[in-house]
A = this chain, B = another copy of it.
Amino acid sequence: MNVERPRTRIQKKNRETILDAALAVFSAEGFRGATLDQIAETAGLSKPNLLYYFASKEAIYSELLSTLLDTWLDPLRALDEAGDPVDEIVGYVMRKLQMSRDMPRESRLFAQEIVQGAPRILEQIEGPLRRLVDDKAALVTRWIDTGRIAALDPYHLIFSIWATTQHYADFNTQVCSILKPEGDAHMDDAATFLSAFYRRALDPRQL
């Protein structure tokens, strides 16, 4: 089974089942911490069966990463030059926060990969991701130059958005330990905070 494109419906279903189980296990345990047995059990399949669909543990992991990275960047892609600059960026922040709420496993998966030096997706980061960021940073610079937004380094602005929004997925344990109620009730508070925060920081008036 060195196949790339699934040919039968069983293949499609099982590959999806495996990838979903792998996402759960890898995001919770990291690459090294996850075991094929765990993934197999989560998926409800036998270990040799996993290896019938994927060549190796690494193959599962790599396919996960590259499949998800694309989705992960959608919110940034949607940044639109035509809209109001401040609204656009605040909108991006909200979309990214929504993603942390809806896809915390994906967020943690990337977080762990990158913390460890991104050994398996460095290429994707230096290629597509970097190009996208360069593109959007140029857009922000245009907004700055026309005085429609505060003059703040666009790259570091984007980093700050990644950091503040992904924090709620990646460090959810810590957030919940400090904010009394469990659950993601505080996600709404986070949205309120970040919205006001970025609106204040970006407003071109003042100072």
Interface residues of A (CB under 8 A from B): 28-33, 108, 111-112, 114-118, 122, 125-126, 129-130, 133-134, 150, 152-153, 155-157, 159-160, 162-164, 166-168, 170-171, 173-175, 177-179, 189-190, 192-194, 196-203, 205-207
Contact = CB atoms under 8 A, between A and B. Distances in A.
A4 to B, nearest CB: 27
A28 B116 contact: yes
A203 B150 CA distance: 14
Closest 10 CB pairs of A and B: A32-B33, A156-B193, A163-B167, A163-B163, A201-B201, A200-B201, A125-B177, A153-B193, A206-B206, A118-B173
A204 B175 CA distance: 26
Contacts of A115: 108, 111-112, 115, 170-171
Nearest to A112: B115
B125 A174 contact: yes
